[in-house]
Amino acid sequence: MNSMNIRRSMVVSGVCAAAGVLGPTSNASAQAPAAQSSLGVLQEITVTARRQEESLQGTPVSVTAISGQLLDNLNIQDMTSVAEFAPNLTIAHQPSSTTATSISLRGIGQTEPAATAEQGVGLYLDGVYIARTAGAVFDLVDLERIEVLRGPQGTLFGRNTTGGAVQLVSRKPADEFGVEQKLSYGRFDDWYTRTRLDTGFLFGSPVKATIAYLHRERDGYFDNTLAPDDKDPGSFDNDALWLGVTGKFGDRFTASYTLDWNEREGAPVFFQLTAATADLMTYYGQSPAFGGAPFMVSTERFDTGQQAPFDGRFTSLSETVGHNLTLEYQVSDAMTLKSISAYRSFKQDTICSLSGNGVMRGVVLDPVTFAFAGIQDLHGPYSCNNAPQRQFQYSEELQLLGGAEQWSYVVGAFYFYERSAEFNDQRLTFVLPGGQAGLNLTPFQAFGGETESIAGFGQLSYTPAALAGKLELTGGVRYTQDDKEFFSSLFPERPDASFSNTN
């Protein structure tokens, strides 16, 4: 099967030159090109690749920083396009889902969208780990920057960062009142609008807030003659909301709360059969004689065709919600205590039609007695409905950061709890040898898991003064304990296991 997913749009809104920052570094020797102001002065790029804010030019880590301004200028609207600006990074939208992604860095990644699959590259939003690839495609509402850290990053970022980590850093509320509006239009009735409102400091208090709303919709790029244009493969209708509230109380204490909400509806991409066995060609080829759709198989790409719905539905639905409370207290000029508490949830109802054919008909036998069951609509070759697919997670991270003279350090503790579940309603037609009859089958599987993880970590860096800051020695350690439980409708027992690791 081939999945066809193309990105063709002519954006009417203005697109500026790359005024944002795109800066890869390679270990300690290479430096990223910095953005220049209108006066030609180099601007400092700040990253948190080592959990503390520091200049990208002086960070001895292989990291690429992409500014929010560049993303905005180039009309980058979700995660899948970020890889165009970061070497060694691949972010692919998994074709059978509207929210699942495959992130690969330096050849290490994960392509399994199941609710229990672990990642090879960690994804973080404002310091919060996003555990599932199934809900990792969401709209980029209002970012300050994206950091791509090449791995492994196990010491500071923990498990599932063998390939590296991708950090999304949201834009903070502005000091002054302001409103921003962006509107664009492209091919296939592609509409995009984003509104941002900054309150400035509220009523003379140290508290300021921002709220941003985004809406995207587009007709499909493939003409499914069974569906309206707004339900064709590749279509979507998305809404996203971002709320941020920040307050600085005194000189040392800062509190920030963010809410992100993303609701997506869309039709997965069109799948096309490129080959079939002789039995399948014989069986499905008889469909028009029984009043069904023709069997479509070709190595040439279709631009129009039929893709049967699942119980009358063509589109998948999903909702993602995240809460983040970050508290930061500056104990002294050389020490800061930070807490990141977060709760995230994800739910999805996915339609997957993997055969690229309409409603075919054929001779069907009873799957138990093999008696003639009539001329029926076929399930085939394969379709499914993964619903409900749910996941929620809670995490808490405490960090002690600081440094003095030639020393800098990070010490932390991490707790993570997650529960996920997936129910798969599958439909397929099994063609019997000879291709004269088939069995309509409806296998069902439910599975899920529960994870509880605790970790402690620390990293210490020393820069000898004698070498004018050109050498840095860094050492770190992390201990992780994972307790996992798995359940499946195929097994009556619920196996569990514990793992520990030190790196």
Distances (CA, A) of 89 to 114, 149, 210, 219: 22, 10, 31, 29
Can you give the pLDDT at residue 438? Answer: 96
pLDDT at 36 over 60: no
189 membership: H or E segment, kind and range: none
pLDDT at 116 over 80: no
Name the amino acid, one letter, at 430: F
Name the amino acid, one letter, at 32: A
Give the rounded distance of the alpha carbon of 359 from its chain centre.
33
Report the distance separating Cα 153 and Cα 458, nearest Å. 13
pLDDT at 31 over 70: no
Q: What is the mean pLDDT of residues 405-429?
A: 92
Burial of 181 (0-12, 13-18, 19+ CB in 10 A): exposed
Name the CATH superfamily, with its identifier, for domain 2-502.
TonB-dependent receptor, beta-barrel domain (2.40.170.20)
Identify which of 256, 7, 237 has the alpha carbon closest to the alpha carbon of residue 144: 256
pLDDT at 38 over 70: no
136 confidence band (pLDDT: 50, 70, 90):
low
Residues whose CB is less than 8 angstroms from the CB of residue 351 and which lie 6 or more positions away in sequence, other chains included: 267, 268, 309, 310, 313, 314, 315, 316, 383, 384, 385
Identify whether 381 is preceded by a cis peptide bond (ω within 30 of 0). Answer: yes
Q: 3-class DSSP state for residue 257?
A: strand
Identify whether 152 is preceded by a cis peptide bond (ω within 30 of 0). Answer: yes
Q: What is the mean pLDDT of residues 161-178?
A: 90
CB 230 within 8 A of CB 219: yes
The percent of residues in the chain predicted with pLDDT above 90, rounded, is 52
Q: Following DSSP, what letter does each residue of 343-362 receive, concatenated?
A: EEEEEEEEEEE-S-----EE
Q: What is the mean pLDDT of residues 183-208?
A: 93
Distances (CA, A) of 495 to 116, 164, 448, 480, 492: 14, 30, 11, 20, 9
49 confidence band (pLDDT: 50, 70, 90):
confident
Can you give the pLDDT at residue 483? Answer: 93
**Token pair for 345:** 């949830």
CB 74 within 8 A of CB 15: yes
